[in-house]
Amino acid sequence: MERLCSSISLVIPCYNEADNLDALLARCVATLNTLGMVWEIVLVDDGSRDNTALQLAHWSVREPRVRALLLSRNFGKEAALSAGLDAARGQAVVLMDADLQHEPELVPTMLQRWKHGIDVVYARRRDRSDEPWFKRTFTRLFYRMLNATHPRVTIPADAGDFRLLDRHVVDALKSLPEHNRFMKGMYAWVGFRSEELPYTPKARASGQSHYNLHSLVSLSLSGMTAFTTWPLRASSVLGVNLALLAFGYGGYLVLDYWLFGAEVSGWTTIVVSTMLFSGVQLLSLGVLGEYIARIYEEVKGRPLYIVHRHLGEGLPQGGGIT
């Protein structure tokens, strides 16, 4: 069944992207104008410290189909994406980055697939040879661990946030109440007919990536705690195995004492085993702590983001379908 042309929203989170906005928006507007459908661009300024907000204000005056939400501070990309998804009114919604790594010219291809009934068209990087080896290894390991225990939900590696979502998918994502928003997992969790579109990301147009090792580790911890519980199980399994080992070794020492008498040695054994056991205990407490921290975040029930100002008009309520 072919979907009828209707409306499309581009959702773009921006954090300190002032130097990229002109080129980005010019290319987006040019591409969207070729589609022959009504459109809007929803930009979310995630508390930028540069001129991003000012640029967005100019753009929203010049082109009323460009809308901007200015968040009250930096909430992080996942929250900015949620803000954009909440605000978008199109029947199809495309998420993309502001740094031109995701080419707007790919949108018509995504839209073609959507028109043929696909609900999620996600861009999948052809290769990661542009990334440093530690990031590649870390990513591969992370996805393997993330998908280790989820037979029904597979989170594809190499697929990021550059994707087209049908209105039903957007509504499903909006209905997920969690505050710990690991979007890549949530896309997979909601399901729907998905198809990949191979692409080669371009180099960042201007500025630097906002993700360093620390933020990548923190994002992966969110992903692990949001989508798996096996680290909890693993710490109990580790505990049981070590206890059995300790029990066996204890028995051996007692027998040794009875049969051969006391011998004052074993300093190394004491030090090594104390360090091992306290290490394992701290590790397990850490794993537990990560989950408790997420529970605490959820229980507080704070909003995911706070919008400070709305600029521009975009599509009318209801998606602009006449």
User: Binding residue for ligand UDP (CB under 6 A) from 40, 42, 46, 183?
Assistant: 46
With a CB cutoff of 8 Å and minimum separation 6, the contacts of 304 are: 75, 79, 82, 83, 179, 181
Q: Nearest approach, Cβ of 161 to ligand UDP (angstroms)?
A: 8
Our finding on whether 82 is near ligand UDP (CB under 6 A) is no
> Cα separation of 153 and 227, whole Å?
10
Our finding on whether 99 is near Mg ion (CB under 5 A) is yes
Look at residue 85 and give the partner it binds from ligand UDP, Mg ion, none, a contact being a CB closer than 5 to 8 Å depending on partner kind. none
Q: Nearest approach, Cβ of 12 to ligand UDP (angstroms)?
A: 6
Q: Nearest approach, Cβ of 131 to ligand UDP (angstroms)?
A: 9
Q: Which is nearer to ligand UDP, 81 or 169 (CB)?
A: 81
With a CB cutoff of 8 Å and minimum separation 6, the contacts of 139 are: 128, 131, 157
Using alpha carbons, list the distances in angstroms from residue 177 to 87, 153, 160: 16, 19, 21
Q: 190, exposed or middle or buried, with CB in 10 Å at 0-12, 13-18, 19+? A: buried
Our finding on whether 134 is near ligand UDP (CB under 6 A) is no
> Cα separation of 230 and 235, whole Å?
9
User: Binding residue for Mg ion (CB under 5 A) from 16, 101, 228, 235?
Assistant: 101
Task: Report the DSSP beta bridge partners of residue 13.
Answer: 44
Describe the strand order of the beta sheet including 159-166 as a list of residue ranges.
Answer: 194-199, 120-125, 159-166, 92-95, 7-14, 38-45, 66-71, 307-311
The DSSP code sequence of 20-45 is HHHHHHHHHHHHHHTTTSEEEEEEEE
Our finding on whether 211 is near ligand UDP (CB under 6 A) is yes
User: Do 307 and 83 meet the contact criterion of CB atoms below 8 Å apart?
Assistant: yes
Q: Which is nearer to ligand UDP, 85 or 118 (CB)?
A: 85
Q: Which is nearer to ligand UDP, 99 or 119 (CB)?
A: 99
Footprint on residues 264-293 left by ligand UDP (CB under 6 A): none
Task: Report the DSSP beta bridge partners of residue 197.
Answer: 123
Footprint on residues 189-208 left by Mg ion (CB under 5 A): 204
Q: Which is nearer to ligand UDP, 76 or 319 (CB)?
A: 76
User: Binding residue for ligand UDP (CB under 6 A) from 25, 43, 80, 315?
Assistant: 80
Q: Nearest approach, Cβ of 71 to ligand UDP (angstroms)?
A: 9
Binding site for ligand UDP (CB under 6 A): 13-15, 17, 46, 74, 76-77, 80, 97-99, 101, 204, 209-211
- Residues engaged in binding Mg ion (CB under 5 A): 97, 99, 101, 204
